Amino acid sequence: MVHIEKGELTQEEKALLEVIGKGTAQEAGTLLANKNVRVNCLDENGMTPLMHAAYKGKLDMCKLLLRHGADVNCHQHEHGYTALMFAALSGNKDITWVMLEAGAETDVVNSVGRTAAQMAAFVGQHDCVTVINNFFPRERLDYYTKPQGLDKEPKLPPKLAGPLHKIITMTNLHPVKIVMLINENPLLAEEAALSKCYKVMDLICEKCMKQRDMNEVLAVKMHYISCVLQKCINFLKDGENKLDTLIRSLLKGRPSDGFPVYQEKLIRESIRKFPYCEATLLQQLVRSIAPVEIGSDPTAFSVLTQAITGQVGFVDVEFCTTCGEKGASKRCSVCKMVIYCDQTCQKTHWFAHKKICKNLKDIYEKQQMEAAKEKSEEENNGRLDVNSNCVNEEQPEAETAISQEDCDPKESVEGEKESLQCDAGSECSQDATVGPLASEE
């Protein structure tokens, strides 16, 4: 590889860096066609055009540069940053994924000894951390699509590699989401296909546990997916459209509070069946879940998700009640308590939600009344404080001066900043057969 000096840029290369920041992919493509433009040129800080595009969140630019041969693992930055590190710092999940698919190395460290995932976690880009930690190279799965040794046929048909890889790399491990993806794909929604897939999952799990650098997290994830696939096979044996029945079983809540007991038991059972009892991660999962009564927090799903993806619950993040997808924004227009991704998830869950919707509505109204009461009391207390301050201001100046001399300057009062939240949204119309549709928050 030709050595490229930092800062030695042609006029066309300088123009390319400017276009990456302010121009279009078409303009960048025109410049890249120029023979005076090196796709891996370095600015004075050792940043390549790909690093600039990744940091600025330009997905189309990143794809264009990679098509023109940009080095995704260039390590010439003055502080040892790579394109993956800049993508992670930008907080763009799609760009992070593109870098990983292009072959970005995840274990490279910068000048302070941090990997891309560690840097993303340091600046609060937890979604990018999850994408990096859950990435599984397609090449590792393609290995099973070719006959090995004395095998006459591959363990995994090539046509199943793509759909299965999508499930493996998902950051959402909700069983309903996995079953939905299988149900939507005709290639996967067959007993024979799922049988081959879950066996490959078991092989990957075994390999993760027996390799020199043991990967317990990936092993547990593969085993869990294998258990969900096997559950799908059991339902498919009963006839057509039985995956819909499995989804309903996973969502069905108990009469008292609507908690999905079957879903909880499925996840607990998958953890209990993990074949490597000596695994540290398994012991941590068991200690966290075993003492918890079914229906109480933390749920088996939340514990498993945190262990595998590293995700933790955030106050300002909402998850779909049906499939567990992060960032759901639609609420039931009646009870305002359950949240969905879209109308499809709302319809899927309606059979279970309609039984408790009225009770949740009463709870919501009670909470609103209590919140209004607390707000009113705070406002009244605020008025009393204002009146008290007015009385103090009417004291003689000499007395005020004495009190100021006696007080400690460190005991000063700082003003509090209040943030106003605007809860805007419109309620959707009701569906006679499905129930109240979700509305934007």
Q: Return per-residue pLDDT of the chain as tens, 441 residues.
A: 456 777 789 999 999 999 998 989 999 999 999 999 999 999 999 999 999 999 999 999 999 999 999 999 999 999 999 999 999 999 999 999 999 999 999 989 999 999 999 999 999 998 898 899 889 999 999 999 999 888 899 999 999 999 999 999 988 999 999 999 999 999 999 999 999 999 999 999 999 999 888 889 999 999 999 999 999 999 998 766 689 999 999 999 988 888 999 999 999 999 999 999 999 999 999 999 999 999 999 999 999 998 888 765 444 578 999 999 988 889 998 998 899 999 999 999 999 999 889 888 899 899 989 988 888 888 888 776 666 655 555 544 434 333 433 444 334 334 433 333 334 343 333 443 455 555 554
**What pLDDT, on a 0 to 100 scale, did the predictor assign at position 212?**
84
User: Pick from 296, 312, 328: which residue ends a domain?
Assistant: 312
Of 116, 133, 150, the last residue of a domain is: 133
12 token code pair: 């066309």
pLDDT of residue 209: 94
Q: With residue 435 as reference, give the H or E element that holds it.
A: strand 435-436
Q: Quick check: is 388 in a domain?
A: no
Q: Assess whether 296 and 162 both reside in one domain.
A: yes
Give me 243's structure tokens.
């995956």
Give residue 395's pLDDT. 47
The count of domains in the chain is 3
Does residue 71 sit in the same domain as residue 110? yes
251 by Cβ neighbours in 10 Å (0-12 / 13-18 / 19+) ranks as buried
Residue 165 lies in a domain: yes
Instruction: For residues 315 and 368, give the distance between their C-alpha atoms in angstroms, rounded to a whole number.
Output: 18
CB neighbour class for 280 (10 Å; exposed up to 12, middle 13-18, buried from 19): exposed
Consecutive H or E run containing 12 = helix 11-22
Claim to verify: residue 294 and residue 183 sit in the same structural domain = yes
The helix (H) or strand (E) run that includes residue 438 is strand 438-440
3-state secondary structure of 176: helix
291 lies in a domain?
A: yes
In a domain, 272, yes or no: yes
The verdict on residue 394 lying in a domain is no
d(CA 45, CA 79): 9
Q: What are phi and psi of 5, to 5 degrees?
A: -80, 145
- 112 with 261, same domain: the answer is no
Looking at the fold, whether 252 and 178 belong to one and the same domain comes out as: yes
Do 298 and 203 share a domain, yes or no?
Answer: yes
Domain boundary among 133, 167, 198: 133
Provide the CATH number for the domain around residue 56: 1.25.40.20
- Tell me whether residue 422 is in a domain: no
* Torsion over CA: 374, 379, 385, 387 (sign): negative
Residues 151 and 299 in one domain: yes
Strands 339-340 and 330-332: antiparallel
- Helix, strand, or coil (residue 332): strand
What is d(CA 171, CA 169) in angstroms, rounded to the nearest whole number? 6
CB 276 within 8 A of CB 294: no
Residue 57 belongs to domain spanning:
11-133
Query: Do the domain assignments include residue 213?
Result: yes
Provide φ and ψ at 372, rounded to 5°.
Answer: -65, -40
Do 320 and 282 share a structural domain?
no
Helix axes 175-184, 261-272, angle to 10 degrees: 90
Q: Look at residues 97, 89, 15 and name the one whose alpha carbon lies nearest to residue 55.
A: 89
pLDDT at 384 (0 to 100): 66
In 3D, which of 44, 21, 19 has the Cα closest to residue 29? 19
The sign of the dihedral angle between the CA atoms of 229, 234, 239, 243 is negative
Distances (CA, A) of 120 to 47, 133, 134, 315: 19, 11, 14, 20
- In the prediction, which pLDDT does 149 show? 87
Phi/psi for 188 (5° steps) reads -90, -30
List residues bridging with 430 in a β-sheet. 436
Which secondary structure element, helix H or strand E, spans residue 330, and what is its range? Answer: strand 330-332
Please report whether residue 414 resides in a domain. no
Which residue type is seen at 163?
Answer: P
Inter-residue contact 40 to 71 (CB < 8 Å): yes
Dist CA 156 CA 142 (whole Å): 8
Q: Are residues 15 and 25 in the same domain?
A: yes
Please tell me whether residues 144 and 292 are part of one structural domain.
yes
pLDDT confidence of residue 128? 92
Same-domain status, 156 and 256: yes
Rounded Cα distance between 229 and 431, Å, is 33
> Would you say the C-alpha torsion 142, 144, 147, 150 has a positive or negative sign?
positive
Whether omega before 298 lies within 30 degrees of 0, making that bond cis, reads: yes
Question: 318 and 308 in one domain?
Answer: no
Q: What pLDDT is attached to residue 47?
A: 94
